[in-house]
Chains A and B, each alone.
Chain A
Amino acid sequence: AQSVTQLDSQVPVFEEAPVELRCNYSSSVSVYLFWYVQYPNQGLQLLLKYLSGSTLVESINGFEAEFNKSQTSFHLRKPSVHISDTAEYFCAVIEGTGRRALTFGSGTRLQVQP
């Protein structure tokens, strides 16, 4: 069965600093990978996804994630964060076969400080 591990529950960072949010997954079959973002008092929104092709995927607001099959990772990065990036970020995985339901990690709260 698939599983997702987000090792960091909270990541404090200063504005304009780089950030990396870590995500590792476990699955015996091929997977699709996602990052969702949850702003305060809102539902989750899709930030970016890896389905196939280039292992580096980007979002419209400057985040990127790289699928690393050998390390079973899908870390999220941004070279320079803004106050408005403060949110909770969830990594999620879906297997290419079976029930194909999204499995979410426990989330990482990104706190951007001025």
Chain B
Amino acid sequence: EAQVTQNPRYLITVTGKKLTVTCSQNMNHEYMSWYRQDPGLGLRQIYYSMNVEVTDKGDVPEGYKVSRKEKRNFPLILESPSPNQTSLYFCASSFRQGTTGELFFGEGSRLTVL
């Protein structure tokens, strides 16, 4: 089954404790992206990757890091989480950026930073 898998789905952590949210897709997609969803703000792009070893900032990259060492994986790293990073995070992928706009989304990771 074609899917985007995120882990963990739910996480409560404390300020400053490094964490990683993993994302994996099995569709051989070139393009992957991370979004955060906050009430009243919709989805905002954090980082994206056009292909292996190619990453770039989205609209709200501060406080986040990413890497793309393999085509299928695109982890999101919070080196020193803060309460304003409490949010619902989505990983998404598509065959290629922009052409049709059809993104395939994971089920989301709800993060709470105390």
Contact = CB atoms under 8 A, between A and B. Distances in A.
Interface of A: 4, 6, 9, 32, 34, 36, 41-46, 49, 51, 90, 92, 94, 99-102, 104-107
Given A49-B100, A100-B97, A101-B98, A106 B40 contact: yes
Contacts of A92: 101
Contacts of A90: 42-43
Given A43-B105, A44-B103, A44-B105, A101 B97 contact: yes
B102 A42 contact: no
A96 to B, nearest CB: 9
A94 B42 contact: no
B108 interface: yes
A10 to B, nearest CB: 11
